[in-house]
Amino acid sequence: MATMRNFVLICTLAALSAAEAGFFSSSHSTSSSSSSSSSSFESAGRICLNGGSSVPSLTSGEHMFCSCAEGFEGRHCEKVKAGQCFEGVGLYYRGTMAKSKRGRTCEEWDSDTRELYLSIDLKSGRHNYCRNLHYKRRPWCFVWKNLQLVWEYCACPPAVSSDSPPPPPPPPPPQAAESTCGQRSRRKQTKIVEEQFATVESHPWLAAIYWRSKSKEKVFRCGGSLISACWVLTAAHCFPDGSLTKARRFSVILGKNMMNESDPTVEQTFRVEEIILHDGFVQNGESFNNDIALLKLRARSGQCAEESSSVKSVCLPPPQQNLQPGVSCEIAGYGKEKFGLWYKSQFLIEAQVKLIADDVCRNYYGNMLSDNMFCAGRPDWSQDACEGDSGGPLVCEVGSTLFLFGVISWGDGCAQENRPGVYTTVTNYNQWIEEKTGLTSITAGSMFPQKLT
C-alpha cells in the first residue's frame, strides 16, 4: 500500500555535479536554487549582510537597497537594531541582550553549541547573548540557578512592546481582487545540524488539516495549501472514506509553527464546510491517480482566512504550464523526520528538491506513474517527503512569486535511493479547481505573478 508522504530532511544539502544532470534529463541542465544563509561577514559579490536580500530596480535590474532580516538595519544590514529583541519566536534575533527574565546573567555558549548552531552568528557565537536555538517560544540562554546550569527565557521584549508608542492604524484591507498570492513574509531559513526547521512565515500558505475522532481527540491528518481565503488544496487520499467523509469532523489551522504548541495570536482555525474529492481519484496498486481534493473553510462572521505575515495564499500556475527538469522547488510539512520513526515532527520542516524528467521517473516507477504525476528529489537521495506530509505543497519560484506546482502524494519509503517523491500535477486541474471554487488564475504573460479572484 502506498505510504502517505511526509517531508523529511536527513542530511546536509549536497552540491550537484555535472554528472548528476542525468538524474533530471539527458538534454536539460539543472538550475540552482537561490537560498542563502545569514552571515556576519560580506562574501565576494554579497551586497546585503546578515540574511538581508537585495531589492533590484524594476527597470534596470540593478541593486537599489537591502531588505534587512529581523534585528538588523543599515545600508548593508550590517547594524544590529537597538532597543528591540525579537519578532515572532525570535528565531533570527541577533541582538546583545544577555539577561534572563529573572535578572540572571547569561552564561557564554559552549564550544559544541557554537560549532553546531552559532558559527555564522555575531563573534562566531563567542558570547552570552540570548538566542533561540531549539525553536522555543522566544530567545533564551543558560543561567546558573541553585548551583545548577538551567535555561531561562530572556528579558528582552518583543519588537513592539507595551512601552512603545502605538503603531499607526493599519490601512483598510485590500479588495479580494487586489490581494496578491505567492509572496512569503520571510525567506527560507535556519539550517540546524542535519535538518532545516522553518517558520510558517516562510511557508504562509501551508495548512494543517485535523480530524476529530469519535472520542473527540483532535488528530493531525494531512497538510494542504491555502489557494484563497476560503479554499485549501490537498490530496484526495487524505480522506479514505471517500464520498462518506464527514466534513464536520475536520478542521484546518493556518499559521501553525509547532504541532505540540498553539499560538492564538498567529494561528487561524476553521471548521471545514465542504470536502470535494476529484471524481477520478483512484488507488492504482501502490500509487494514487487524480490525487487532489479541495476543502472549503467555514467562514466566521462572513470572513475566512485573513492575510497576515503567517497566513497568505499561494499562486496557481497557468493551465498546462510545466517547468523544465532540474528546476529547484521546495516542499514543507509536519511529517516524520526520518522513515520508520513512530512519531511525526513537532516542527515545521522544509526541503529543497529538483524536478525529475518523466522518462527518468518512469525508469523508477514504470506504469505506476500517470500523466497526472511528476517526480522530484535529490541526486544524493538525501531529501524527500515522507509519512505525514501528504497533501502539502511543492512550490517553485518564478520571478519572485511562489507557484503551487505539486501536491505531495505518494512514494516508496522516504529518501530511498531510486525512489523519488511523486506529486500531483496541479496544472492539470486548473479547470476542475475553477469549476468547484469559482477561482481563476489571471495571467499576465506566460509565467508572471498571478492574482486569485
Tell me whether residue 237 is one of the annotated catalytic residues.
yes
Q: Residues 128, 109: contact at Cβ < 8 Å?
A: yes
Q: How many CB atoms neighbour CB 273 within 10 A?
A: 15
Q: Residues 263, 254: contact at Cβ < 8 Å?
A: no
Q: Residues 247, 238: contact at Cβ < 8 Å?
A: no
| Element housing 178 (H / E) | none
Tell me whether residue 310 is one of the annotated catalytic residues.
no
Catalytic residue among 38, 287, 390, 441: 390
Q: Residues 3, 387: contact at Cβ < 8 Å?
A: yes
Catalytic residue among 237, 251, 278, 310: 237
User: What DSSP designation does 259 have?
Assistant: S
Catalytic residue among 291, 313, 382, 384: 291
Contacts of 268 (CB under 8 A, 6+ apart): 253, 254, 255, 305, 306, 311
Tell me whether residue 390 is one of the annotated catalytic residues.
yes
User: What one-character-per-residue DSSP string does 303-331 give?
Assistant: B-----SS--PPBPPPTT--PPTT-EEEE
Residues designated as active site = 237, 291, 390
